Structures are given as structure tokens and as C-alpha cells.
């Protein structure tokens, strides 16, 4: 860490936006092309078969999965939308409601700790471990549902807010929770250990930490709470930068000479570790930094060459350790995570991998993440890689560049109840303005050399 002399300092954090979803993929004429029939089959299968977990981690994951499929169905005008929306609302309402004698799926006060803990806990979350990981799923799912069903946040916003504040209380006047419980401003990222330890605190899943901020940002947008939205933007900017620097070492200038690994699976106050709490697979050291698939994940393709290098290195390490490194051999969630990240740098490769799995009826395509991954691969194939140098006055937006078509595409979501005009800036100059209908996602493309 760098030191300076003085009694005040400012931190400037770049933020180019986060969208709740991506546009509906379209056929590109390439091999292994997008199929809306296949996408609908994924949505149909999930709607029929999905289940919710009883603890805050796996239950939270299932909430976000349901929200993602709900958005896909809504964008395509499929009837599963109503089923998934109602299911998600009922499940979140169950978690956000307590009746005497209830054993699971509620949140309880820890008044002496100024805390709110979900029951059933998991992985030590009752002792404050991983609170931002777990509750980030609840906040994200609530935000996405609220964007489809504003009445949900009118009814349950009073419960979602304190769950968000459990890990990211941005309001210094709110003494019910510590100020930014899980975030370390000095390090520029979150910590996951509730009580710390002999070698300091630690964090494993940098990507779930990122989601906790992205969810806070989207919830602020859905609630019209600009203070919450701003806190989410701050945390997202810093956490994504920290993930790229301290976990992935993208510039190859942070790890000490005696750390002979390409990335860190866990960052500790006392050093880095190439490993995880739950698996010895090298692929999972990477994979736990890549879940869940979401537009929040596009920071991983800010440098597409680095993304490609990560995928190749991971597959090489996995093959050396396990004797094989095919997507099929990785299994459902991990295989989907690898294809999702690779899609941001080489979507053609991911599309071919997914097409082969579908043709072979591989077990991976029956995983709950498969349809989300399929949608993500082809949306990225259509859009290209993220561009952070285009900024919209509607912050729920993002810009992408397609190297094949040479087009910039702006994806903009208007969370307001009335239409709004987005002014898009590039290097300080106005590029265009576009009107976005209320509660709508639009995309606007133009040739990069024209603007």
C-alpha cells in the first residue's frame, strides 16, 4: 500500500454503469447460432423443475436464478414470466415475513451486534461470515423483481433495506447497523470472515462480493434511492478493481516473487492462497471468482486478452491436475461459469461448446444455470466486449463494442415510472441522446468510427 502525508484525501472511482439484464439475443448467421426455441426450452424446464433452498446461501442463489429466468421470459413475451414472477414474489415474501413458530426462511435481529441474520444460516453466516455474499443474492433478486413488479417494493421495501444495510449500511445516521460492515475502505474491497482470525480476515469469492454491490446499486435504482444507488456504484467500482488487481493480478505487478500461482483463490490480511474452502480443483479457484453469471460480471472482459489468458491457464492447470479439462468434465455450475466468462472474450468458442453439449444432451444442459448461460453467451456474441469510456446520464446502462461489426451498442434501462432521456458522453463529449420509455430496456447501436 502506498503512503502519503496529510490529514485528508479523496478517492475518485470510475463507474460506467450496471444494467439489470442484456437485450434479447439475435441470430448472427454464425455457426452454432442462437435459437429462441432452445432458449424457451431452457425457460420451460426451469419453470417446471426449479426449487428453492432453505438456507441463505443456496436459497439466495435460487432466488437470483428465478429472477434471471423471469427477466428472460418477460423480454421474450413468454407465458412463463407470470409464473416465475409470482413464484419469486411468494418466496421473497416468505423470507421477509415472520410468524410465531416459524422455523426457517426469516430474518432475526441480533440487537447487541446491531445485525439482522437470515435463518437458516449457512457457512457460518450466523457469526457474520459471508453476509454480503448471501444477502447480496436477496438484494439482487428483490431489485430485479421490483423492476418488474413495483408493488413488491412498496410492500416489502421496508424489509429489503435493512437486509442490504446488514452488509452495506451507507447511512451514517442509521445506528441499527455498523457503517459498511463488510467493506474495508483502506484495502478497497470487502472481507468475508465474520470474526477474523490469526492471519487476519479473508475473502474467497470476489465475484459474489461484486454482486453484493451491484445488487445494492440496482435496488437503489428500483427504489429511487439515490444515496443507496451511489453507495452501490462506489462499492462496485472499488470491488471490481480490487478483484482484477488482487485476485487476478491482471497487470502482473501485485503478487510477490514467492507466490508462484497465476491468481489468488483467497486473499487474506496475512497473504494470498491458491485454493478454496470447498474444493481442490484448480478450476474452482477461478470459478468461485466467476459466479454468478450476470451483467455485473462484465468487468472481467475489460481486458479481453487477459480474460482469454485466464481461461487457457485455468484449463491447463485443470488438465494437469485431473487429466481432463473439458467443459463436460467440469460439471454444471462450474462448466457454465467457464463458458460465461469465456463468452466475454471469445463468444464463438462458448457458443460452440454450448452447442456441442446440447447436441450430446450432456448433463450440464440440465443444470439450473444452463439457460442463463445460454442467454448470456449469445447476448455477448451479439454485443461484444464492455466499453467503460461511454457514460450515460441514466446510470443503469452499459456500452459494448463488437469487433466484427465495428459497432458500439449502448444498453440502457430506465427504472423510472416515466420516460427519461439518456445523454451519452464519450471522453467528455456528448455522443447522442436517446429517450427511454418507463421501466424499459433499449439498445442503440452505431459504427464506432462515426462517433
pLDDT tens digit sequence for 111-141: 999 999 999 999 999 999 999 999 999 999 9
Q: Could you tell me if 109 and 100 are in contact, meaning their C-beta atoms sit under 8 angstroms apart?
A: no
Q: Could you tell me if 413 and 381 are in contact, meaning their C-beta atoms sit under 8 angstroms apart?
A: no
Percent of all residues in the chain with a pLDDT value above 90, rounded to a whole number: 94
Range from 7-11, 99-103, 132-136, 326-330 carrying the lowest mean pLDDT: 7-11
pLDDT tens digit sequence for 341-394: 999 999 999 999 999 999 999 999 999 999 999 999 999 999 999 999 999 999
- pLDDT tier for residue 3 given thresholds of 50, 70 and 90: confident
| Dist CA 188 CA 175 (whole Å) | 23
Distances in Å between the Cα of 285 and the Cα atoms of 31, 248, 293 are: 31, 11, 16
- Residue 214, pLDDT > 60, answer yes
**Per-residue pLDDT, 407:** 96
**Per-residue pLDDT, 165:** 98
Range from 238-242, 259-263, 447-451 carrying the lowest mean pLDDT: 447-451
User: Could you please report the per-residue DSSP string of 66-110?
Assistant: HHHHHHHHHHHT-THHHHHHHHHHHHHHHHT---TT--SSEEEEE
**Per-residue pLDDT, 451:** 46
Query: Which of 177, 153, 167 lies closest to 212, judged by CA?
Result: 167
Distances in Å between the Cα of 16 and the Cα atoms of 268, 296, 428 are: 29, 11, 13
- Is the model more confident about 353 or about 198? 353
Specify the length of the chain in residues. Answer: 451
Q: How many CA atoms lie within 13 Å of 103's alpha carbon, on the beta-carbon side? A: 1
**Across the chain, which distance is largest between two alpha carbons, in Å?**
64
pLDDT tens digit sequence for 226-252: 999 999 999 999 999 999 999 999 999
- Omega into 258 within 30° of 0, i.e. cis? no
pLDDT tens digit sequence for 34-71: 999 999 999 999 999 999 999 999 999 999 999 999 99
- Which domains are present in the chain? 36-311 (no CATH), 389-451 (2.60.40)
| Dist CA 405 CA 26 (whole Å) | 14
The CB density around residue 28, as the number of other CB atoms within 10 Å, is 17
> What is the rounded average pLDDT of the residues 298-326?
95
Q: Could you tell me if 390 and 408 are in contact, meaning their C-beta atoms sit under 8 angstroms apart?
A: yes
The residues that bridge with 407 in the sheet, in sequence order, are 402, 447
Alpha carbon of residue 4 to chain centroid? 34
Percent of all residues in the chain with a pLDDT value above 70, rounded to a whole number: 99
Which DSSP letter does residue 59 get? Answer: H
**Per-residue pLDDT, 207:** 98
Q: Could you tell me if 46 and 370 are in contact, meaning their C-beta atoms sit under 8 angstroms apart?
A: no
Contacts 24+ apart (CB under 8 A), 229-235: 229/395, 230/170, 231/168, 231/170, 232/168, 233/13, 233/15, 233/18, 233/395, 234/13, 234/15, 235/168, 235/183, 235/190
| Dist CA 86 CA 82 (whole Å) | 6
Q: Could you tell me if 74 and 148 are in contact, meaning their C-beta atoms sit under 8 angstroms apart?
A: yes
- pLDDT tier for residue 1 given thresholds of 50, 70 and 90: low
- Stated as kind and residue range, the H or E segment containing 190 is strand 189-190
The CB density around residue 50, as the number of other CB atoms within 10 Å, is 14
**3-state SS, one letter per residue, for 269-334:** CCEEECCCCCCCCHHHHHHCCCCCCCHHHHHHHCCHHHHHHHHHHHHHHHHHHHCCCCHHHHCHHH
The residues that bridge with 386 in the sheet, in sequence order, are 400
The residues that bridge with 410 in the sheet, in sequence order, are 399, 444
- Residue 198, pLDDT > 90, answer no
Which DSSP letter does residue 384 get? Answer: -
Query: Which of 70, 65, 67 lies closest to 81, judged by CA?
Result: 70
Alpha carbon of residue 406 to chain centroid? 27
* Average pLDDT score, the chain: 96
**Per-residue pLDDT, 448:** 85
Distances in Å between the Cα of 397 and the Cα atoms of 20, 111, 216, 219, 427 are: 9, 38, 15, 14, 17
Amino acid at each position: 500500500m502506498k503512503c502519503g502525508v496529510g490529514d485528508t484525501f479523496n478517492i475518485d472511482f470510475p463507474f460506467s454503469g450496471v444494467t439489470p439484464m442484456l437485450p434479447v439475443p439475435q441470430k448472427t448467421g454464425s455457426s452454432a447460432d442462437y435459437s429462441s426455441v432452445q432458449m424457451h426450452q431452457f425457460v420451460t424446464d426451469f419453470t417446471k423443475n426449479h426449487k428453492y433452498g432453505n438456507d441463505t446461501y443456496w436459497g439466495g442463489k435460487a432466488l437470483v436464478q428465478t429472477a434471471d429466468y423471469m427477466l428472460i421470459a418477460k423480454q421474450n413475451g413468454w407465458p412463463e414470466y407470470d409464473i416465475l414472477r409470482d413464484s419469486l414474489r411468494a418466496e421473497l415474501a416468505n423470507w421477509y415475513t415472520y410468524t410465531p413458530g416459524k422455523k426457517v426462511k426469516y430474518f432475526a435481529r441480533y440487537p447487541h451486534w446491531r445485525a439482522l441474520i437470515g435463518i437458516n444460516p449457512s457457512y457460518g453466516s450466523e457469526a457474520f461470515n459471508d453476509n454480503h455474499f448471501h444477502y447480496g443474492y436477496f438484494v439482487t433478486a428483490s431489485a430485479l423483481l421490483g423492476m418488474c413488479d413495483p408493488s413488491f417494493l412498496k410492500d416489502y421495501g421496508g424489509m429489503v433495506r435493512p437486509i442490504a444495510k446488514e452488509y452495506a449500511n451507507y447511512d451514517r445516521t442509521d445506528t441499527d447497523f455498523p457503517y459498511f460492515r463488510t467493506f474495508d475502505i483502506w484495502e478497497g474491497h470487502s472481507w468475508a470472515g465474520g470474526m477474523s482470525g490469526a492471519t487476519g480476515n479473508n475473502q474467497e469469492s470476489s465475484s459474489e462480493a461484486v454482486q453484493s454491490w451491484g445488487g445494492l446499486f440496482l435496488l437503489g435504482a428500483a427504489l429511487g434511492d439515490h444515496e443507496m444507488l451511489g453507495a452501490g456504484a462506489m462499492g462496485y467500482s472499488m470491488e471490481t478493481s480490487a478483484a482484477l488487481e488482487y485476485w487476478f493480478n491482471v497487470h502482473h505487478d501485485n503478487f510477490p516473487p514467492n507466490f508462484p500461482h497465476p491468481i489468488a483463490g483467497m486473499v487474506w490480511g496475512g497473504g494470498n492462497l491458491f485454493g478454496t474452502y470447498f474444493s481442490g480443483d484448480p478450476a474452482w479457484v477461478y470459478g468461485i471468482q466467476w459466479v454468478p453469471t450476470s451483467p455485473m460480471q462484465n468487468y472481467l472482459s475489460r481486458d479481453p486478452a487477459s480474460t482469454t489468458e485466464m481461461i487457457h491457464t485455468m484449463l491447463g492447470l485443470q488438465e494437469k491436475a485431473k487429466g481432463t479439462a473439458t467443459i463436460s468434465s467440469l460439471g454444471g455450475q462450474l462448466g457454465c461459469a467457464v463458458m460465461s466468462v469465456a463468452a466475454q472474450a471469445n463468444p464463438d468458442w462458448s457458443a460452440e461448446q454450448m452447442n456441442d453439449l446440447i447436441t450430446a444432451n450432456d448433463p450440464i444442459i440440465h443444470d439450473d444455470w444452463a439457460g442463463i448461460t445460454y442467454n448470456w453467451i449469445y447476448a455477448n456474441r451479439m454485443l461484444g466486449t464492455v466499453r467503460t469510456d461511454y457514460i450515460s446520464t441514466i446510470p443503469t446502462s452499459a456500452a459494448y463494442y463488437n469487433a466484427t461489426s465495428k459497432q458500439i451498442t449502448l444498453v440502457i434501462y430506465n427504472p423510472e415510472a416515466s420516460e427519461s432521456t439518456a445523454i451519452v458522453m464519450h471522453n467528455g463529449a456528448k455522443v447522442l441522446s436517446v429517450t427511454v420509455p418507463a421501466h424499459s430496456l433499449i439498445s442503440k447501436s452505431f459504427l464506432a468510427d462515426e462517433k
